[in-house]
């Protein structure tokens, strides 16, 4: 059994974010981190590995420096890693990205007992689309918003979260599961020995040459040209006007606030 965990290196949107005058993001100025939901997916996969001894493969698509992130995942406990990286893949939207990742996993082989884990969504785009689109393109079932799961042989029971509760869903492998960040699945730390070993674990780079014979890879299904959606404009929203700082912080200030709310018929 092999678990593929799809991960993404994303800009840390909680840190300093610089926007160019034309409304595009100044990515060079931002720190990169491993997407939070993807780390939860990795943790779920590693717990299955702890229980069953299965192989865990970290997969990402991105520029060559994304290797650093893959090494961190190897230091956490993944067995091997795959970096999908080529100029031809650049500019892909979610449709084209899922096309390429599907081709890569097909290339590596998805067995009867295998699972693909993804994070629910990435904090840069927040789209939550790549996972289900990989499932569709690989013609396997999907379960999204997984908070926890239980595996018995080829059968998996997933607790799938809804806004007002959850579903218990039974699904057979091979399948794709997207995981949410959950307090139960706090990602483990890299271990010191994991770090000692991570640069000697296998890391495969799949470039355009390696994947070009996969049926899913056509020049009009990948990269900017193969992306159905395009960015028409990007911009920063304006700030709201400045409000009033109330004097002091005692009883009178609170009474003043209450009076103002009363005036506005808000209470």
Partner 1 sequence: MAFNSSDIAAFKDIWVFCEQREGKLMNTDFELISEGRKLADERGAKLVGVLLGDNVEGIAKELGGYGADKVIVCNHPELKVYTTDAYAKVLCDVAMDKKPEVILLGATNIGRDLGPRCAARLRTGLTADCTHLDIDMDNYVEFLEKSSTLDLSNTKFDMEDVNLKQTRPAFGGHLMATIICPRFRPCMSTVRPGVMKKAPFDQAKADACEIEMYPVTIEKSDLRTEVLEVVKEAKQLVDLIGAEVIVSVGRGISKDVEGGIELAHQLADAFGNAVVGGSRATIDSGWLSADHQVGQTGKTVHPKIYVALGISGAIQHKAGMQDSELIIAVNKNENAPIFDIADYGIVGDLFKVVPMMVEAIKEAKESK
Partner 2 sequence: MDFSLTREQELLKKVAAQFAENELEPVAAELDKTHVFPVDNFKKMAEVGFTGIGVPREYGGTGGGATEKVIAVSEFARKCMSSAAILSIHLIAPQAIAKYGTKEQKEKYLPRLTKGGELGAFALTEPNAGSDAGSVQTTAIFDPETNEYVLNGGKCFISGGSRASVLVIFALTDPSKGLRGMSALIVENTMPGFSVGKIEEKMGIAGSETAELIFEDVRVPAENLLGKEGQGFKIAMQALDGARIGVGAQALGVAKEAVDLAVKYSHERVQFGKPISALQGIQWYIADMATKTEAAETLVYKAAWLEDTGKPFSKEAAMCKLNAAENARFVTNLALQIHGGYGFMKDYPLERMYRDAKITEIYEGTSEIHKVVISRAVMGK
Residues 2-21 binding partner 1 (CB under 8 A) are 11, 13-14, 17, 19
Instruction: Quote the CA–CA distance of 117 and 96 in Å, as a whole number.
Output: 19
- List binders of partner 1 among 65-94 (CB under 8 A): 93-94
- List binders of partner 2 among 23-82 (CB under 8 A): 71-72, 75
Burial class (CB in 10 A: 0-12, 13-18, 19+), 18: exposed
Closer residue to partner 2, CB minimum distance, 71 or 137: 71
Rg (CA), the chain: 22
Interface segment toward partner 2; rule CB under 8 A; list 52-60, 187-195, 205-213, 222-230: 187-195
SS3 state of residue 182: coil
Residue from 28, 192, 215, 251 in contact with partner 1 (CB under 8 A): 251
Residue 19 DSSP class = B
Closer residue to partner 2, CB minimum distance, 172 or 191: 191
Q: Is 137 in the site for partner 1 (CB under 8 A)?
A: yes
Do the beta carbons of residue 177 and residue 212 sit within 8 Å? Answer: no
Q: Is 192 in the site for partner 2 (CB under 8 A)?
A: yes
Residue 254, both tokens: 């609170």
* Minimal distance, residue 33 CB to partner 2, in Å: 11
Q: Is the dihedral of CA 207, 211, 212, 215 positive or negative?
A: negative
Closer residue to partner 2, CB minimum distance, 81 or 96: 81
Q: Is 187 in the site for partner 1 (CB under 8 A)?
A: no
Q: How many residues bind partner 2 (CB under 8 A)?
A: 13
Cross-strand bridge partners of residue 78: none
Non-local CB neighbours of 88 within 8 Å, separated by 6+ positions: 208, 219, 222, 223
Q: For binding to partner 2 (CB under 8 A), which residues are involved?
A: 71-72, 75, 189-196, 198-199
């Amino acid at each position: 059994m092999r678990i593929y965990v799809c991960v993404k290196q994303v800009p840390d949107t909680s840190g300093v974010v610089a926007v160019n005058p034309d409304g595009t993001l100044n990515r060079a100025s931002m720190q990169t981190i491993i997407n939070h939901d993807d780390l939860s997916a990795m943790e779920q996969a590693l717990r299955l590995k702890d229980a069953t001894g299965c192989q865990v493969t970290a997969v990402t698509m991105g520029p060559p420096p994304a290797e650093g992130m893959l090494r961190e995942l190897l230091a956490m406990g993944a067995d091997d890693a795959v970096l999908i990286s080529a100029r031809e893949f650049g500019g892909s939207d979610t449709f084209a990205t899922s096309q390429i990742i599907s081709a890569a996993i097909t290339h590596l082989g998805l067995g009867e007992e295998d699972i693909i884990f993804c994070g629910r969504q990435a904090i840069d785009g927040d789209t939550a689309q790549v996972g289900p689109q990989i499932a569709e393109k690989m013609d396997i079932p999907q379960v999204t918003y997984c908070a926890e799961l239980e595996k018995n042989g080829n059968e998996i029971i997933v607790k799938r979260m809804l806004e007002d509760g959850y579903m218990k869903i039974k699904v057979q492998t091979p399948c794709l599961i997207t995981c949410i960040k959950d307090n139960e699945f706090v990602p483990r730390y890299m271990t010191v020995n994991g770090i000692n070993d991570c640069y000697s674990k296998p890391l495969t780079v799949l470039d355009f040459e390696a994947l070009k014979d996969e049926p899913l890879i056509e020049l009009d299904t990948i990269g900017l040209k193969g992306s159905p959606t395009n960015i028409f404009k990007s911009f920063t929203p304006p700030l709201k006007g400045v409000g009033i700082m109330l004097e002091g912080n005692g009883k009178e200030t609170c009474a003043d606030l209450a009076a103002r709310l009363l005036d506005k018929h808000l209470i």
